[in-house]
Amino acid sequence: MGSSLPYSPKLPMPSKTMNIHSASRILAIFIAITTICNNIVVTEGGVIGINWGRSTAQRLIPSVVVDLLLQNHVPAARIYTSEEDLLQAFAGSGIDLTITIPDWKKVATYDLAQAWVSKKSPWRVMVGTEIFGMAMNDTQLQSRMIDAFNYTQIALNDAGYGYVKATFPHPYIILDDFAKPSEATIRESFRTQFVRHLDIIRASGAPVCIEFFLVELMRVLNITDLSFAIADGRSSHAITDVGDAVYTDVFEVAYDAFAWALEKLGYGDVDFIITQVGWPTDGFINANAATAERFFEALLPYVASDRGSHKLPGKPIDIYLHALTDENLNPPFLAYGRHWGIYRSNGEPKYRVDLTGHGRVMFPARARGIKQMPHRWCVLGPTEDEDDMKVEEAYLFACATGDCTSMYPKGSCSGLDRWQNVSYAFNMYFQAFFQDERACKFNGLGQVVTEDPSTVGCVFPVEVVKGQQENFKNVTGKGNRARRLPELAEILVLLVLTFWPLLLLYG
């Protein structure tokens, strides 16, 4: 398409480094810091925090997010960066904040860890992310990661922050396949270094952190009954385990599986928390707002109840909900990976959820101070038969940059016709560039309109005005969970980006 390509300024889009979830099994270490705050609003039982990822073309500014969390009485938040503007926004808010160092190599030696600690001056620290997925069969790399983790704890101690606790979360893939929670064990390829990290955690009094992506865990367990995702005790599917324990939801299965695995290693006394759990709203058959609403409607009161689990009755369960907003710059080969948000990028909630865990039927508070762009959309204008090739090229170009994952199979926009498919792609590109009219040219095929082209079930969004997108210049350090994809995964992403839009266009 050469010089006639649509307007293409520097969109913050991952390329060689890409944000990825544990379901992709490409994981890395992060370091998190939790500030000690006063007057924190908590639930009756376990703490319910929330994750805020910023891998999106349009992102809320920190002060707006802090206000949003305070309106909803959310006591804890986790972000995937350690930028000063975010720390300043949360300072004095009363919100327990977890921040991130995406690259574990920044604390790979004691001197590096000491330098990082001296710059951040944390009040209270939690260190963590799913490090072993990127080193499943590389024990030397695992060992280096544990060294970095240990150096961080030592540096914190030496700086006078002995009350700061270092830890990092793990995904479900650290467990061998199991059919019942009592059968769960840590994979042999991880076991040696996992035990080493448990020794450090036990000595410091920190918790183990665990990431739950229950969509993937249900697939691994070969459970197709959607009701098993809902922790309301009504599922027709049940798993019976030792002591006549009957499990009717995947959350408690996953929770007790880790409890059993830790006990078998001799670390049943080590506490653990759930640092990611949620349900997506688009990108596959059961990903929608109605299911996500049911999921949280059951889970949050359960967590707040102090009921505990079959394995650990009466033990408070702490969780971080995933996630505050959608992230349209997540890699596209897991379509639902861009749609974890409770909120849209404009600060409007997608469904009803009481984030305190009290079980009230209510929409969470809307973000205040959000300025939406004008009600304008970019659509496919009138074309002739001879324009088919140009339309195809422009469509592929738009989907390579804009977010077309809602048009993937079973997504909310999977039933569009050809004109709607192209128009949806054009509009996503147009909105990603903040409605710059040059981003709706598409070699003369695009047309800016003021009449909403949305259909029943498929929203053609209008995004928010440009906020802090300048912070996105460096993908690896500005609020992203940046990951280096292995070659095979890069090839899969390329194939998806290249061929799937064509199937949508002509299927």
Flag whether 395 is in a domain. Answer: yes
One domain, residues 78 and 218: yes
Residue 504 banded pLDDT, cuts 50, 70, 90: low
End position of a domain, from candidates 292, 318, 338: 338
The pLDDT confidence band at residue 344, using thresholds 50, 70 and 90, is very high
Residue 127 has pLDDT above 60, yes or no: no
Task: Examine the domain organization and report whether 334 and 377 are in the same domain.
Answer: no
Tokens of 131: 């490090």
The reply to whether 485 falls in a domain is no
Lookup: tokens for 244 = 């006549």
* CA contacts within 13 A on the Cβ side of 245: 17
Q: Based on the domain organization, do 333 and 377 belong to the same domain?
A: no
- Check whether residue 324 and residue 458 sit in a common domain: no
Q: Indicate if the pLDDT at residue 10 is higher than 80.
A: no
pLDDT in tens, 80-96: 877 788 888 998 999 98
- State the Cα–Cα distance between residues 442 and 446, nearest whole angstrom: 5
Helices 110-120 and 139-158 pack at an angle, to 10 degrees, of 50
Using CA atoms, how far apart are residues 80 and 53, in angstroms rounded to an integer? Answer: 6
First to last CA, the chain: 24
pLDDT of residue 488: 35
Q: Structurally, how many domains does the chain consist of?
A: 2
Q: What is the DSSP letter of 186?
A: B
- Give residue-wise pLDDT tens across range 435-492: 999 999 999 999 999 999 999 999 999 998 876 554 334 333 344 453 333 333 333 3
Give the Cα separation of 327 and 402 in Å (integer).
12
pLDDT of 417 over the 90 cut? yes
What backbone torsions phi and psi does residue 370 show, to the nearest 5 degrees? -85, 130
Residue 60 lies in a domain: yes
Cα→Cα distances 452→303, 353, 433, 461, Å: 41, 28, 18, 9
Identify whether residues 49 and 162 lie together within a single domain. Answer: yes
- Residue-number span of the structural domain to which 22 is assigned: 17-338
Is residue 103 one of the residues assigned to a domain? yes
Residue 88 lies in a domain: yes
Q: 322 and 379 share a domain? A: no
Question: DSSP string spanning 115-161?
Answer: HHHHHH--SSEEE----GGGGTT-HHHHHHHHHHHHHHHHHHHHTT-
Do 290 and 426 have their domain in common? no
Whole-structure pTM value: 0.84
Cα separation of 127 and 115, whole Å? 16
Do 65 and 198 fall within a single domain? yes
Identify which of 191, 121, 202, 140 has the alpha carbon closest to the alpha carbon of residue 166. Answer: 202
3-state secondary structure of 34: strand
Cα angle 457, 462, 467 (rounded to 5 degrees) comes to 135
Is the residue at 475 inside a domain? no
| Spatial distance between the Cα atoms of 88 and 263, rounded to a whole number of angstroms | 40
Geometric angle at alpha carbon 382, from 380 and 388, rounded to 5°: 75
Domain assignment present for residue 163? The answer is yes
Residue 47 φ/ψ, nearest 5 degrees: -80, 135
pLDDT reported for residue 138: 83
Question: Distance between CA atoms of 425 and 452, rounded to whole angstroms?
Answer: 15
Same-domain check for residues 52 and 172: yes
CATH code of the domain covering residue 22: 3.20.20.80
Average pLDDT, the chain: 82
| 366, 51 Cβ separation under 8 angstroms | no
Question: Which tens digits make up the pLDDT trace of 60-116?
Answer: 999 999 999 999 999 999 888 777 888 889 989 999 887 776 676 777 889 988 887
What sign for the dihedral angle of Cα 358, 226, 53, 370? negative
Statement to judge: residues 327 and 407 lie in one domain: no
C-alpha angle with apex 118: 117 to 124, nearest 5 degrees? 45
In this structure, the answer to whether residues 167 and 273 fall within a common structural domain is yes
Which residue from 434, 441, 379 is spatially nearest to 11, judged by alpha carbons?
A: 434
Q: Do 180 and 34 reside in the same domain of the chain?
A: yes
Alpha-carbon distances of 191 from 146, 158, 182, 251, rounded to whole Å: 13, 29, 17, 23
CA-CA distances (angstroms) from residue 154 to 98, 115, 199, 203, 413? 19, 12, 14, 12, 51
Is position 316 within any domain?
Answer: yes
CATH code, domain with 388: 1.20.58
User: Which of 338, 363, 389 is a domain's end point?
Assistant: 338
pLDDT in tens, 256-278: 999 999 999 999 999 999 999 99
- The CA–CA distances, whole Å, from 390 to 51, 58, 456 equal 41, 28, 28
Mean pLDDT of 167-190: 91
Of the candidates 281, 316, 338, which is a domain's last residue? 338
List residues bridging with 464 in a β-sheet.
372
Q: Residue 466, SS3?
A: coil
What's the pLDDT at 120? 65
Predicted confidence (pLDDT) at residue 160 exceeds the cutoff of 80: yes
- Decide if 442 contacts 426 (C-beta within 8 A): yes
Q: At what angle do helices 139-158 and 188-204 cross, to 10 degrees?
A: 10
- What integer pLDDT is reported at residue 263 of this predicted model? 98
